[in-house]
A = this chain, B = another copy of it.
Amino acid sequence: MVQQKQQTPGRPRSEASHQAILQATIDVLKQQGYRATTIEAIAAEAGVGKKTIYRWWSSKAEVALEALTAHSNTHVPFLDTGSLQSDLLSYFERSFESLRGESGMLLRGIVAEALLDPAFAATFQRVFIVPRRASLVELLQRAQARGELTAETNIEVLADMIFGAKWYRFLLYPAPLDTTFAQEIVALVSCHRA
């Protein structure tokens, strides 16, 4: 077994700095909010030169995105519990809880950046939006395979409506993301039962 230690010349990247930057990003975001957070503040908080950040990320949004995804509780798993209703309720329960916390604030900032910067939008969609939507589509396909949804049900668009409802409330409409809402969505989806 060959040692695969990708050996470039020069001093290797400092993993300590890498982690310090991510942690500092979280800390500063918590204290200042997304907009007020600056690369300078992150560098100062991490005890790191600004150049060290710019060497590895191209913008505040990129750092924030990595900080968000590195956060353990961020990726809400889509569990296979055996029924469409419990699959969705289980997912919403975890997702809503995460969005109500500081991950929510961070995510709102990241979405804002994606809306303002097409290049970052592409990254964000690739690493965040598309995989999660794929998982939801998969969940719905399992349900369809089990006969819980009619064969004619347009899974793709149903996924847009389910995620849409969540994001609409999260980003735009000032209404709570709670268990009641989750149950109401599931109830509406149930009309597509075979």
Do the beta carbons of A168 and B173 come within 8 Å of each other? no
Chain B residues with Cβ below 8 Å from A153 are: 188
Report which of B34, B130, B167, B192 forms a contact with A168, defined as CB distance below 8 A. Answer: B167
Distance between Cα atoms of A191 and B109 in the complex (Å): 36
Do the beta carbons of B174 and A125 come within 8 Å of each other? yes
Do the beta carbons of B164 and A166 come within 8 Å of each other? yes
Report which of B156, B165, B167 forms a contact with A171, defined as CB distance below 8 A. Answer: B167
Chain B residues with Cβ below 8 Å from A156 are: 184
Do the beta carbons of B34 and A116 come within 8 Å of each other? yes
**Chain A interface: which size bin?**
35 or more
Shortest CB distance A13–B (Å): 18
Chain B residues with Cβ below 8 Å from A44 are: none
**Interface: A172 (CB within 8 A):** yes
Choose among A156, A184, A188 the residue with the greatest number of B CB atoms under 10 Å from its CB.
A188
Closest 4 CB pairs of A and B: A164-B164, A164-B168, A112-B112, A112-B115
Chain A interface (Cβ < 8 Å from any Cβ of B)? 34-35, 108-109, 111-117, 125, 129-130, 133, 153-154, 156-158, 160-169, 171-175, 181, 184-185, 187-188, 191-192
Known A111-B112, A161-B185, A191-B191; 18 more pairs at CB < 8 Å: A35-B116, A108-B116, A111-B115, A111-B171, A125-B174, A153-B188, A154-B187, A154-B188, A156-B184, A157-B188, A158-B188, A160-B168, A160-B173, A161-B164, A161-B165, A163-B164, A167-B171, A191-B192
